[in-house]
Every structure is written in C-alpha cells, then in structure tokens.
Amino acid sequence: MPNVLIRSLSEEELDQLRAMADSRHMSLQSFMADMVRKTLSADHNRNKLAEIEAHLKSMPPATFTTEDLLAAKDAPRHGTDA
C-alpha cells in the first residue's frame, strides 16, 4: 500500500491531530487514514447527490396534486383504483 507524507503542519496542528487520535484510541496513522476515507466518501456522496439533483431538474414538472397522491394512497382501503 502506498504511503503519503504530509508536510507543512505546525507543531500545534500535529499536537491537535495526535490528541484527536488519542481520544479515539487510535494511532495517528490510523486516525489520518480514517479521516481521508471519510473525506473521500463525503465527496463521493456530494457528487452523487449533485447528479441526482441535475437529473431531477431535467425532469418535467409533476402534473398531479396532493389530493391525487392521497387518493392513490387510500385507494386500496376503499376498494377503488385511483
């Protein structure tokens, strides 16, 4: 597995990261790898949501009303086809 080197962190920043890792009972390396994975996952989710939003915006507007939805929801109880 490849390694990553992070430069240009101040001692204070590194101390904060170590404290965060310690509070989670993790090594600094495991903590940083976990942070990177969570960041990648969040970015993937943001991109996926943007795709879904673009798709929804490209769809024609709905032509049904709230009453239509409620009637369709209740149709099986009333023995009717909405």
Among 38, 10, 11, CA closest to 24 = 38
Q: Is the pLDDT of residue 10 over 60?
A: yes
Higher pLDDT, 38 or 71: 38
This prediction has a pTM of: 0.65
pLDDT for the residue numbered 9:
96
d(CA 59, CA 69): 19
Residue 76 has a pLDDT of: 75
